[in-house]
Chains A and B, each alone.
Chain A
Amino acid sequence: KAGVTQTPRYLIKTRGQQVTLSCSPISGHRSVSWYQQTPGQGLQFLFEYFSETQRNKGNFPGRFSGRQFSNSRSEMNVSTLELGDSALYLCASSLTTGANVLTFGAGSRLTVL
């Protein structure tokens, strides 16, 4: 059974650009959550999608957005990139919203120059 797949694994952007990250959940999982991981800050919750609807949102500016498709795959977008957006972006899937088990992907490491 394939795990959570995140693409791309590594990417470099410059300030002002935008970026789109993709997450394919485990087959059968319908909930996808996104986290930003930075040194010293740990994991900060971005948002959760279930059945193509955003169910929960963390405290991030509107430059961070996401969506979920009918096959449960999810994308997140960051517009007008800032240096502080450099981080590891982790996606986690679960069977349903509110589930007590999250399965994480390996992450997409974004570097903003």
Chain B
Amino acid sequence: AQSVTQLGSHVSVSEGALVLLRCNYSSSVPPYLFWYVQYPNQGLQLLLKYTSAATLVKGINGFEAEFKKSETSFHLTKPSAHMSDAAEYFCAVKTNTGNQFYFGTGTSLTVIP
């Protein structure tokens, strides 16, 4: 079975500071991993995905994530936070043979001016 754990339901950073959102997964087979972002009153938008190619994945809006198999992690980072990054972020896992996505409970990012 697959599952995702997002450490920290709320994260606050100052504008210009590093953003680090943590995601650990559990999967019995090689996983595909995703980060989605949700702005208020909107659906989820794909930020980036890992599908067994390069372990460092670059996404939209300056975000990137690194797949670390030994740590079963897929943390999301951005070097410098912007006010527009304030949103809810979801990590998700899926297997290459399965149809279902498994989402974490989300991390709400607040950016302090």
User: What residues of chain A have their CB less than 8 Å away from a CB belonging to chain B?
Assistant: 4, 6, 33, 35, 40-43, 45, 48, 55-56, 58, 90, 92, 97-98, 100-107
A92 to chain B minimum Cβ distance, whole angstroms, is 8
Give the residue among B42, B51, B100, B105 with the most A Cβ atoms within 10 A: B100
Find B105's partner among A4, A40, A45, A102 (CB 8 Å cutoff): A40
* CA A52 to CA B100, docked complex, whole Å: 17
For B73-113 the 0/1 string (1 means CB < 8 A from A) is: 00000000000000000100010011111111110000000
B105 x A42 contact (CB < 8 A): yes
A100 x B99 contact (CB < 8 A): no
B64 to chain A minimum Cβ distance, whole angstroms, is 18
Total inter-chain residue pairs, C-beta < 8 Å: 52
* CA A9 to CA B80, docked complex, whole Å: 34
B36 to chain A minimum Cβ distance, whole angstroms, is 8
Residues in A whose Cβ lies below 8 Å from that of B105: 40-42
Q: Decide yes or no: A101 and B46 within 8 Å by CB, A42-B90, A43-B103 being known contacts.
A: yes
Please tell me the size bucket of the interface on B: 20 to 34
Find A100's partner among B36, B44, B51, B103 (CB 8 Å cutoff): B51
A50 to chain B minimum Cβ distance, whole angstroms, is 8
Q: Which residue of B lies closest to A48 (CB)?
A: B99
* CA A102 to CA B94, docked complex, whole Å: 11
B9 at the interface (CB under 8 A from A): yes
B49 x A106 contact (CB < 8 A): no
Q: Which residue of A lies closest to B105 (CB)?
A: A42
* CA A81 to CA B106, docked complex, whole Å: 26
* CA A101 to CA B9, docked complex, whole Å: 25
Q: Decide yes or no: A100 and B98 within 8 Å by CB, A40-B105, A42-B103, A90-B43 being known contacts.
A: no
